[in-house]
Chain A
Amino acid sequence: MDRLRKPEVLLALGVIMLGIVALYETAEIPVSPMYAQVGPTLVAYIASGLLIALGLALLAQAWRGIWTSPPEETEAGFDLRAVGWLLLGLVLNIGLIGPLGFIPASVLLFACTARAFGSRRPGRDALIGLGFAAVAYFGFAQLLGINIGEGDLVVSLLEGLI
């Protein structure tokens, strides 16, 4: 089945799936016997039902070839390596911002993103990222007293030293 491999078809199926998950989750919402004339599920049912219906319509369009990507999209290709670097940066950021703190996590995110966009000098990128993160951290966070993460690991290490 060649049609099944068309990205538009897959996306439409994804929309339908999302609608079904939402529908299932809506059915799970407890409806307490209450004063409220309209409960918490009505709009949730409408929205998830709508998503399924729209997904089916999209599927029909994609299947019949009415909905296709413009050639500049399909010909542009997909730069797997660049996206890989970007995703690595995002994952590192999520994983390290807690234990290491905002600045180190941001430097890695910055350097990985720069790599994804074709930069070949990670050292220079990291330095620029450090400057930017430090300005953001000390300028905004410390000035306003907002804690955007000193890093739990760093804090406990310092605590251990004392």
Chain B
Amino acid sequence: MINRRSFLQSTVTAAAATALLPAFGNDALAQSKAAAIDNLLLFVPANPGGGWDQTARSMEQALKTAGLIKGAQVTNVGGAGGAVGLPQFVNQWKGRGNALMVAGMVMVGALITNKSPVKITQTVPIARLTGEFEVIVVPPDSPHKTLKDLAAAFKADPTKVSWAGGSAGGTDHILAGMIAKAAGGEAKKVAYVAYSGGGPAQAALLGNQVTCGVSGWGEFSEQIKAGKLRALAISADKRQPGIDVPTIKEQGLDVELYNWRGVFAPPGIKDTDKAVLIDLMTRMRGSPAWTEQLKTREWTDVFLAGDAYGKYLTEENTRIEAILKDLGLA
């Protein structure tokens, strides 16, 4: 576990803060919302540097700039797509009203493939914050000009079309399976070549070693702009401003996928705490500081809070489980 700044100090402050709270009474509580989360605890079930960690840092930055919190502590517990961190969050962080876990779609998939006994539904969903759409690319001299060409080639002989992307069962693999299925093929037949990072996967594409590649837009965008890779389709629901790439839906395949990230509170928190956290996220989303963070990181705003988010989570779980079954992974 890695803590920025002393964990002890934060716990003491938090304990002091919660001890003071009951004295305020309910009316006072509504006015002292900002004071209630002087010190936000952010739990990241991944190692520093990854997508969830960056989300946590951006949140800390935006919340502080907007004056919504005084400080935040980020704790990283990495491993297995969040399957190591989640049990700790659910058990040891139970009832902490000022704590949020940053996670997302990758965790939903990882929990299913790892057959984790702890479920994401054991947490309290607070808000969905950001989404990153995916892109399908080919090397510039590839014979496939559109997604239809690629789908047709896959249908003709799936073994001849190799797909490079991140680890098996991850977002990239899931999208490849969805495209294969929508094109009338079998998800299991996708000749998927997994790479442990964006760099080696890009190198395989630039060196013409594989037929096509699937990854987050941010991973490939610079290569696409430089003309080193050709984008065939993006997995967003509609055309994106400034990006001259058609969506998958436009090309006749009913597939849409966002690698979304959101925040969750630990189980056992009070309803008032939940309301305060949802309010905090809603206010952060409305702040210019957050808009700025979204822009620099090229994240799409897919804000969804409270019970609507909880419902979405259940649906997403079912959807991903079905795709992973199709891929032979669940």
Contact = CB atoms under 8 A, between A and B. Distances in A.
A147 B158 contact: no
Interface residues of B, number: 22
Contacts of A146: 2-3
A139 interface: no
Contacts of A147: 1-3, 7
Contacts, number: 42
Contacts of B190: 35
Contact of B6 (A36, A142, A159): A142
Contact of B12 (A36, A145, A158): A158
A32 B158 contact: no
Contacts of B12: 158-159, 162
B5 A34 contact: no
Nearest to A33: B328
Contact of A162 (B1, B3, B15): B15
Contact of A32 (B3, B11, B15, B328): B328
B187 to A, nearest CB: 9
Interface residues of A, number: 14
Main SS class of interface, B: mixed
A34 B327 contact: yes
A53 interface: no
The 10 residue pairs across chains A and B that have the minimum distance between CB atoms? A32-B328, A147-B3, A145-B4, A34-B328, A35-B191, A159-B15, A33-B328, A150-B8, A162-B15, A35-B190
Interface of B: 1-8, 11-12, 15-16, 19, 158, 188-192, 327-329
10 contacts: A32-B329, A35-B188, A35-B192, A145-B4, A147-B1, A147-B3, A150-B7, A150-B8, A155-B7, A159-B12
Interface of A: 32-36, 142, 145-147, 150, 155, 158-159, 162
Given A35-B188, A146-B3, 12 more contacts: A33-B328, A34-B327, A35-B192, A142-B6, A145-B3, A146-B2, A150-B7, A150-B8, A158-B11, A159-B11, A159-B12, A162-B15
